[in-house]
Chains A and B, each alone.
Chain A
């Protein structure tokens, strides 16, 4: 059983499109994290959320605690956004990870 489910698994978009990646989780959490992993393998933390909404540049993350759901939005997508986006939930002292969404943005 996977505590964190992401959708879609793969996503291809044209440059400029609005993109949404979804994450649902089944455990009570202390926080939800969105991570970005580029083809080189390095992981960058994008957001940490425990409620509401956060915005950083063209990236927006929202969370609905009651529905146990979070979304990551990318506005005006660009080829440099191509990466794997991973949702992770913090539960106690542990993190549980989704399997990732592989995003490809075509010029």
Chain B
């Protein structure tokens, strides 16, 4: 158990809908990362938050947004969903953030858009 909790584990929704994925980081970790893993793209970095502030942005679509709350949990909001958004969405947390810190991954949320 990594200590990172993601909910829900599975989500099936229709095109055009909006969903929210939730991540609770390990106790004490300030940094939260979001990643998308689709069959044809592999793991893609989406966005990083550190102590409530956006720190780095990757290949995140404008239809997607995220935030980190004062209790350090994070939510990833996906709107106007398309079939191509079907993927595994992972959250990871680390103490300080940065590429030289170990990250701990949640079990992922499997999103299926039909």
Contacts and interface: CB of A to CB of B under 8 A. Distances in A.
Interface of A: 29-31, 33, 35, 41-45, 48, 50, 86, 88-100
A31 B55 CA distance: 18
Contact of B108 (A35, A42, A90, A95): A42
Interface stretch (B17-25, B68-76, B98-106): B98-106
The DSSP consensus for interface residues of chain B is strand
B58 A94 contact: yes
Contacts of B56: 92-94
A99 B42 contact: yes
B100 A94 contact: no
A90 B98 contact: yes
A90 B99 contact: yes
The DSSP consensus for interface residues of chain A is strand
B107 interface: yes
Given A88-B43, A92-B56, A94-B48, A43 B105 contact: yes
A34 B114 CA distance: 33
B44 interface: yes
Nearest to A27: B99
Interface in B27-59: 33, 35, 42-45, 48, 55-56, 58
B66 interface: no
Interface in B76-114: 88, 90, 92, 97-105, 107-108, 110
A44 B88 contact: no
A96 B58 CA distance: 10
B58 A97 contact: no
Contact of B98 (A30, A35, A100): A30
A41 B107 contact: yes
